[in-house]
Structure 1
Amino acid sequence: MRFRRYLLGTVILAVMALVFFSKLGLNLYVDWLWFNSVDYSQIFLKTVYYDWLVRLVVLLSLFILLLVNLLLTRKHVLQRISLPETENVIPLKNYYLSDFLTGKRLVAIYTVVSILLAALLSVVASGQWLTVLKFLHRQPFNITEPLFNLDAGFYVFQLPFFNLIYTILMTGLVVSTLLVAAVHFLTDPSQFSLNKAFTRGKIHLSVLVSLILMLKAVGYRLAMYDLLLSPRGVAFGASYTDVHAQLPALKIMFVLALVAAAAVLVNVFLKKFRWVLTSIILLVISSVVLGSVFPGLMQKFIVEPDEFRKEEPYLEHNIDFTRQAFDLDGIDNQFFSVTNQFAGEDIKANQGTLDNVRIWDWRPLIQTYSQLQEIQLYYNFGSVDVDRYQIDGQLRQVMLSARELNQGQLPEQAKTWINQKLRYTHGYGLVMSPASAVTEEGLPAFYLKDIPSKASVSDVNVKKPQIYYGEQTDSYVFVKTGTTEFDYPAASGENHDTVYQADNGIKLGSIFKRLALAAYLQDIKILLAGDLNADSRLLLNRTIGQRMRKIAPFLEYDRDPYLVLADGELFWMQDAYTTTNKFPYSETMGGVNYIRNSVKIVVNAYDGSVRFYLAEPNDPIIRSYAAIFPGTFLPLEKMPSALRSHVRYPVDLFMLQAQQYSTYHMTDPRDFYNKEGQWNLPMEIVGDKKVPMEPYYTVMRLPDEEKNEYLLMLPFTPAKKLNMTSWLAVRNSPKEYGGMIDFRFPRDSLVFGPMQIEARIDQDSEISSQLTLWNQRGSEIIRGNLLVIPIKDSILYVEPLFLQGEQSRLPELRRVIVAYKDNIVMAKTFEQALETLFKDEVPVPAPQPEPNPQPELPTGNNQNVDELIKSANQLFNLAQEKLRQGDWNGYGDAINELDTILNQLEQISNNPAQGN
């Protein structure tokens, strides 16, 4: 009966192992096919090899440690089970112990237990292959910290590896000790009697406990280095208390742990158990008193009463290392004098800046794109990107979006396997419009639109519009099959078809490969479909984020990839970062305390090819990755020039740096401690909500520069105040890329901040009354993001207003608000607002006659009831017409006159004789 149960259990375990390893093997095989298809098989092979190698080394190390300790108990166990039952043994049946538990079987049991426990404990090494490889390929930062005089690279590359080894060894020793104690206790509990001489079990456990204490001493030594990552004190990193209380405490505990370890070993020979007990009790007490109580008392009674003087040198370390970690130490500080002397003649001199002021907000614009240019239900615009292009020889800021395929929006009857996997395979083309232009109807003035793509300028032609890889393309498809692919709908009603021309993708090939892919994708039709052949290709992992992360999971990725049109083809560009949270003394922000924009990634939207380019070749972390994966990262100079001209500084990184810079622009420790010069990121109103202002791109000419360039910028306001104190800009031109400039406003004059301008907009009687009317009659007003535009020695504020009907989700840009000095103007276009602001200096074009003369407003003077009702109807219809045209002055006049007539009708209803 026991044999049958044993056999059944063995069969169940074998089946489970077969299923597990079959699934694991299948995943590895398909991953290898995919990595090979994208030419990154060396990353896959090295990743798998070192991942399994590290796990295997850890597993074997733990297995040997556990097994050796268990085998040391073997002789004693065999001796004890052969003794008569009168001995003090846990009551197990004699025949079972003596007949079944032979020496070989005991070794087999120990081996199985050790393997199972080692496999379970080796999870601590899961995913740690990169920690090991970074240690083996460590690079210096050439930045020395002041406490231990070690390079910052020690904390980034070496300390995590040492902590990993410490964790593995401590885990193995503690589990071994528990196992050995259990075996000896179950075999002969009497040997742990205090009255008994030293036994085999006591000696064995004494050695293990001594080793644990020695390793604990190593742990205290490693904890000393962790003080440079301490959050205690007024700034991140080792503080006064850490250095003068915590560090000495760790040194004392390091010595006490070694003393305790020696006492345990000495006790084996001298039988001085009192020494062991005293040293362990002393270690425990010191860990509480010295490790917790004493530092707390020092912080409260010594540091806090004289905090700045005590913490000043450590504040200096924190400021210095944080600025280096977030690349803030190279920011150029300049003075920006706001004299507001901008005049009419300055408009022409700054035409490049004014022509590129972005009046389109991406939030309403994506809805407008969707309504006007999705064309078919199965197309979708996922996001709107901002970039710059040379248009007619001028640098112009544009908005653009990819028209991706959304198979979920196909008609239900069209959602067949053939359609979803073989025919509807890709999106088509893009839309592009200038960021600063609007049509008479309040719509984008497209550079590129429609299907097939139609260009209104010669600089943005599309030669290969198909989008097989994108932000939303998340399903696998097959190409080069017996079914032609749908390309785009034609105006004639006939669909244009296409055939995939690239050679990438997983080639189906043999029946074995098709069987593996069918099992992996859980799709039996891959085996049955007659349109699939040996030359057909599987396009897998088509979402660009998933694609890049699968190739290089060790990088951190920006949230916003953006579309680029270069040489007639479509590409996705993505920023990737190297980060750590182990940089000494540096303040943590967003879970990291060191970051570099080390990699620029380009993904071809047609063939899915992925290229990684080094943008920060001097970053030690990316140098380590490049040494681990040689040939993966290409020099930025090898990026095609058409693509390199679209490299831009990422918003996520700039926002992180701006958040740190709002505090760490203060380099004087006393100012930093008192937070006298603390800045805030400004707020603005978008839609109808108050939200933090986001960095924004703009084309403008910097002070003392001759040419316009593409900038990313963000203003700052003082803490607890709303006026502006500074604006931070980063340059995007290839030669000056990444150069940051902090323009400081004068402290003796007021420069309005974004929320002050928003408040002035709300307080303007003419604007607020028109906004109130706008929100009535089934319409909704959407306030776009406010832009602060430094120009010459002045500041312009620009905010677009969008109108959207409740029934149709088509936002139209109807007004632009521009503020300058104490003046605020709302006009139909940005140009008209400028003309109004500078009407004394700028020649205003003569008004053109209306093509259709507007009828005079009917009045209610000297009319009877019938005439009044007729006039009311005319005024209502006229008001609706003015609303559709966006003529808010005319709309307001009509509504005011209608109100007068309605009041007269109310008086007549109260006095009927008056209406005769």
Structure 2
Amino acid sequence: MKRFIWNPNRGDWAPQEGENRPGRKALHGLSLAALVISAFLLFAGGPTLVTFLTELLWYHEVGASQAFWIRIWPQALLFLVASVFSFLALYLNWRPALTRTALPDEMVLSSKTQRRLLFLAALAFALFQGAGARGHWEEALLFLNGTSFSVDDPLFGKDLSFYIFRLPFIAFLRQWLQGLLVLAFGGVALLSALGGASRGLQLPFPLSRTEKRHLSLLGAAIALLWALGFLLARYDLLYSPRGVTFGASYTDVFAELPALNILTGLTVALALLILVGLSRKTWKYAGIVLGLWALANIALRGAYPGVIQKYVVEPNEFQRERPFIEHNIKATLTAYDLHDLTSTAFEPSLTVTAQSLDANPDTVRNIRLWDEDTLLRSYRQLQEIRSYYDFGGVDIDRYDFDGDYRQVMLAARELDLTQLQNPTWVNRHLEFTHGYGLVMNPVNEVTTTGQPVLWVRDLPPRFSVPLTLERPQIYYGEKASSYALVRTTVHEFDYPMGEGNARTTYEGKGGIPVGSLWRRILFSLRLGDSELFFSDALTKDSRILIYRNVLERVQRIVPFLIVDGDPYMAVVDGRLLWIVDAYTATGRYPYSEPVNVRIGRSARSINYIRNSVKVTVDAYDGTVSFYAVDEKDPLLRAWRKIFPGLIQPAEAIGDDLRAHLRYPRDLFRIQGEIFRTYHMGDPNTFYNKEDVWTPAQDRQGKAVDPYYLMMRLEETSEFALISPFLPVGRNNMISWLAARSDGANYGELLLYRFPKQTLVYGPAQIEALIDQNPEISAQLSLWSQRGSDVIRGNVLVIPIDRAILYVQPLYLKSENSDLPELKRVIVASGNGIAWAETLEGALTALVGKGAAPETPVASSEKVLPQAPSLSGEASALARQAQEAWEASQRALREADWEGYGRTMTRLEALLRSLVEATAEEPVQAPAAAEPEL
């Protein structure tokens, strides 16, 4: 083995004289390796090319070719620039290091082979770096196109656009460059070590002056990027979870922030001293600074913040954290679009009167009697017509029928290919291609058999209202999951008709032409379906419909938006349109409280959201249209700059479409979850969590989902989404939140607060009082004994002027059938509980026009019976009634419902006896106190 010695005059290594060189060991099979790599790339890249070409054709079909290329070019450019830059940085650092090591040719490889391998290694690492950069195309585009929020953060005074649009990409660049320099440094160090090892030197290998200079320069550059990391970490304090609230806390500002500033300075000093060491030929001072840096990192970022938190903050937590709580409340309300909410004190009149019902006819005749799940069962039993049809879900909307403004429920009749009796390839893709029509009913009308009154029904659709449908076929929907081939030699099934079936041929503009041979090959490969290629049914006019699922179709065009998971159908200008809500969101809003959300197919943590875009998808031809409904949103403004022309302005929304836009439930749920705590604007109240709310709950403890209803908020009735709230740990209502959906008021949030000294029952309390009603309880037991399933509908809380009306439908379902029947309607208010077979009958009984109201259910005070000055038997009865009343209240406080029922029954009997004994006017039963459930 050849030995090398250090030559101090040359400052380099030199072989000892007289040593024999080992024989050269050449590489074999380089050509074979190149062939294998090429075959692998072709095999791996083939499917990618097929996917690319078919995606390009689809984007062209939906008119979004520009959006496709805007996504592709930044990715390609980032990959190319990052790869080239990485290759040059690595190769230009490693090649001189390889030359300086002077590895003997005969030791392992020839010099030429060494250079080739070095080139391949640099290329491989460069491609890896390029692939990592490619995935940050959205951050790069937002960095270049971000718009101002016109709001500064309270700590550093920077516009929020810096944190949301610019900081993410800057942080990525710093991390990416630091990783690249670490690779370069590691390669140079490794080559230097290999050179020493090849010469038979013992550890530690001495470095030449050139090697020291090279490694020092790389080390100084890494240190500077490290310092930049500490500098940027200061801004991350705005997302700190350390304190009472999210965002920079007292400890972050007065302990963590100074620590980061000191570490930034020490790291910069370390980089400078590394460079100074080059001229002085010593790194002693750099080593001292490195030691100080390590100690400072442990002390300042570990121990010091903990000491400040424990001994400065915790003993005086509210005083220390108050300004930061204020920052958090303000930022959170703004980020979730709750800052402009209108709050109003609601002084309830606990009794619903005939006058109030007469003054609100639109509200009364649009009271919903059908729960969505129950109505879906009825639809499936009554209107599926054939087993291969299905209704994916029930939607709630409103229509103006020649001046008659009505709330309706509807569902699209879609095709369910899993239920085909003969699921051949032709049936699945050529013949059964679409659903047909829809079913619609008013929310409050019932047939004599307890079924919904259908305004749109049957096949082909029959109408009882002034609606027209140009194209009832549904090629694109919620349940469509596979591709369809249209304009083939196979006539498509349209709908069942008598003994046969109606047939049709697709006439829409949707779909990608697949008449040519190469396109048939292309889509056969893409879909993995050889029958598409070999089928004789395709003609030169044939088209393939892909991405027919509404949510998937929208999400592929706008991957930067969160797409709502509940599209709803509307009849707009004679066509069936799916309306989809889309959201801009981020988790980078400083000081705003984050929440984990699941919207549609997206699950992520966010702390800012806007329903900025409305989307429509034509159910017949698949046309997708995007409309900006919140043009002030900075995130939407940035995306519209990136994708010009993709999202149309709000002015492009037609009047017929605008009449069907509604405030989305998913957004309302998120806002409700935030507002249950952040309605407390006072920092002290917020800190102590004195007035936390929770969504209203039913008797099973399940949260009441926000629901749509028609109600009069101002002069006229309007379509709104509401959610009642309860105090935590209680079941009485404390407030309700409404989101408006009609006209110029769309998007306004209204909060109505009940006085804390007034008892307003929540849904669970109403259900408890219904259970205690002897007549209702007995009838429910009787139905159950007869083999019927009693389905209790949701309790709806409906404001009628200043009164609160509670409505709960009751359904019966036979054990042998899945068809529910609306059997009774229960209504309740301050003047009692009543029920009847119809809503009108129940309301009549409640307000005293017909049957007497049942047990009273709401009062701001606990009314105790007054014992008159009587003697004898009457006085004894009065005393016993007083005792029974007190016993009932003890049972309530102890949640002894059985005991409460017994004592109330005894009280009722005693009062009847008292009436008979005194022969006076009837004595009213006392109002029930608040059930403490």
Normalised-by-shorter TM-score class: 0.7 to 0.9
Pairing 1:479–2:486 present: yes
Q: Distance in 1 between matches of 2:27 and 2:219?
A: 40
What SS does the corresponding residue of 1:802 show, helix, strand or coil? Answer: strand
The 5 Å alignment of 1:13-52 reads 13-52=37-76
What SS does the corresponding residue of 1:683 show, helix, strand or coil? Answer: coil
Alpha-carbon contact 2:697-2:703 (below 8 Å) kept: yes
Corresponding residue of 1:11: 35
AA aligned to 1:151 is: D
Pairing 1:152–2:166 present: no
- The correspondence for 2:229, drawn from 219, 237, 241, is 219
Q: Distance in 2 between matches of 1:10 and 1:805?
A: 73
Q: Distance in 2 between matches of 1:786 and 1:522?
A: 50
Alpha-carbon contact 2:376-2:391 (below 8 Å) kept: yes
What SS does the corresponding residue of 1:735 show, helix, strand or coil? Answer: helix
Q: Distance in 1 between matches of 2:310 and 2:51?
A: 57
AA aligned to 1:19 is: F
Q: Distance in 1 between matches of 2:744 and 2:206?
A: 82
Q: Distance in 2 between matches of 1:780 and 1:576?
A: 40
Deviation at 1:183, TM superposition (A): 1.5
Alpha-carbon contact 1:571-1:604 (below 8 Å) kept: yes
Pairing 1:434–2:458 present: no
Corresponding residue of 1:693: 704
Pairing 1:496–2:516 present: no
What SS does the corresponding residue of 1:801 show, helix, strand or coil? Answer: strand
Corresponding residue of 2:681: 667
Deviation at 1:593, TM superposition (A): 0.6
| Deviations 1:516-558, CA, capped at 9 Å, x for gaps | 1111112222222222012111101000111001111000111
| Deviations 1:651-699, CA, capped at 9 Å, x for gaps | 00011111111111111111111111211112114xxx43111111000
Corresponding residue of 1:304: 314
Deviation at 1:237, TM superposition (A): 0.9
Deviation at 1:274, TM superposition (A): 2.5
Q: Distance in 2 between matches of 1:431 and 1:26?
A: 41
The 5 Å alignment of 1:298-447 reads 298-411=308-421, 414-447=422-455
What SS does the corresponding residue of 1:716 show, helix, strand or coil? Answer: strand
AA aligned to 2:411 is: S
Deviation at 1:266, TM superposition (A): 2.0
- The correspondence for 2:579, drawn from 547, 550, 573, is 573
Change over 3 Å in CA distance of 1:319–1:106 after alignment to 2: same
Corresponding residue of 2:567: 561
Deviation at 1:166, TM superposition (A): 1.1
Alpha-carbon contact 1:198-1:271 (below 8 Å) kept: no
Alpha-carbon contact 1:191-1:199 (below 8 Å) kept: no
Q: Distance in 1 between matches of 2:271 and 2:710?
A: 68
AA aligned to 1:315 is: I
What SS does the corresponding residue of 1:788 show, helix, strand or coil? Answer: strand
Q: Distance in 1 between matches of 2:96 and 2:838?
A: 88
Corresponding residue of 1:862: none
The 5 Å alignment of 1:705-724 reads 705-724=714-733
Alpha-carbon contact 2:810-2:822 (below 8 Å) kept: yes
Alpha-carbon contact 2:245-2:593 (below 8 Å) kept: yes
Deviation at 1:392, TM superposition (A): 4.8
What SS does the corresponding residue of 1:473 show, helix, strand or coil? Answer: coil
Corresponding residue of 1:58: 82
- The correspondence for 2:772, drawn from 758, 763, 766, is 763
| Deviations 1:832-862, CA, capped at 9 Å, x for gaps | 2111111248999xxxxxxxxxxxxxxxxxx
Corresponding residue of 2:175: 167
What SS does the corresponding residue of 1:692 show, helix, strand or coil? Answer: coil
Corresponding residue of 1:914: none
Q: Distance in 2 between matches of 1:150 and 1:192?
A: 56
Corresponding residue of 1:635: 649
AA aligned to 1:722 is: N
| Deviations 1:853-881, CA, capped at 9 Å, x for gaps | xxxxxxxxxxxxxxxxxxxxxxxxxxxxx
Alpha-carbon contact 1:322-1:593 (below 8 Å) kept: yes
- The correspondence for 1:751, drawn from 750, 757, 760, is 760
Root-mean-square deviation (Å): 1.9
Q: Distance in 1 between matches of 2:537 and 2:52?
A: 27
AA aligned to 1:358 is: R
Q: Distance in 2 between matches of 1:479 and 1:2?
A: 62
- The correspondence for 1:517, drawn from 523, 526, 534, is 523
Pairing 1:506–2:517 present: no
Corresponding residue of 1:546: 552
AA aligned to 1:18 is: L
Deviation at 1:822, TM superposition (A): 5.8
Deviation at 1:165, TM superposition (A): 0.3
Q: Distance in 2 between matches of 1:812 and 1:292?
A: 66
Q: Distance in 1 between matches of 2:165 and 2:546?
A: 34
Q: Distance in 2 between matches of 1:181 and 1:194?
A: 12
Larger deviation, residues 692-701 vs 172-181: 172-181
Change over 3 Å in CA distance of 1:197–1:595 after alignment to 2: closer
Pairing 1:585–2:586 present: no
Pairing 1:810–2:810 present: no
Pairing 1:781–2:805 present: no
Q: Distance in 2 between matches of 1:817 and 1:152?
A: 52
Change over 3 Å in CA distance of 1:13–1:197 after alignment to 2: closer
Corresponding residue of 1:864: none
Deviation at 1:12, TM superposition (A): 2.1
Corresponding residue of 2:742: 733
Alpha-carbon contact 1:191-1:201 (below 8 Å) kept: no
Change over 3 Å in CA distance of 1:708–1:2 after alignment to 2: same
What SS does the corresponding residue of 2:606 show, helix, strand or coil? Answer: coil
Deviation at 1:4, TM superposition (A): 6.3
Larger deviation, residues 357-366 vs 766-775: 766-775
Alpha-carbon contact 1:331-1:740 (below 8 Å) kept: yes
How many percent identity over aligned positions? 41
**Unaligned 5+ residue runs, structure 1?**
83-93, 845-916
Corresponding residue of 1:609: 623
Q: Distance in 2 between matches of 1:692 and 1:134?
A: 38
AA aligned to 2:666 is: D
Deviation at 1:312, TM superposition (A): 0.8
Q: Distance in 1 between matches of 2:273 and 2:831?
A: 81
Corresponding residue of 1:264: 274
Q: Distance in 1 between matches of 2:540 and 2:127?
A: 41
Q: Distance in 1 between matches of 2:71 and 2:492?
A: 36
Change over 3 Å in CA distance of 1:772–1:124 after alignment to 2: farther
Alpha-carbon contact 1:210-1:264 (below 8 Å) kept: yes
What SS does the corresponding residue of 2:480 show, helix, strand or coil? Answer: coil
| Deviations 1:434-485, CA, capped at 9 Å, x for gaps | 111111211111011111101122x223231100000011110111111111
Alpha-carbon contact 2:352-2:831 (below 8 Å) kept: no
Deviation at 1:284, TM superposition (A): 1.6
Corresponding residue of 2:260: 250
Larger deviation, residues 296-305 vs 10-19: 10-19
Q: Distance in 1 between matches of 2:115 and 2:457?
A: 76
Deviation at 1:811, TM superposition (A): 1.7
AA aligned to 2:480 is: T
Q: Distance in 1 between matches of 2:836 and 2:552?
A: 45
**Unaligned 5+ residue runs, structure 2?**
1-24, 597-604, 854-933
Alpha-carbon contact 1:236-1:585 (below 8 Å) kept: yes
Alpha-carbon contact 1:817-1:833 (below 8 Å) kept: yes
Corresponding residue of 1:280: 290
Pairing 1:182–2:206 present: no
Q: Distance in 2 between matches of 1:763 and 1:62?
A: 76
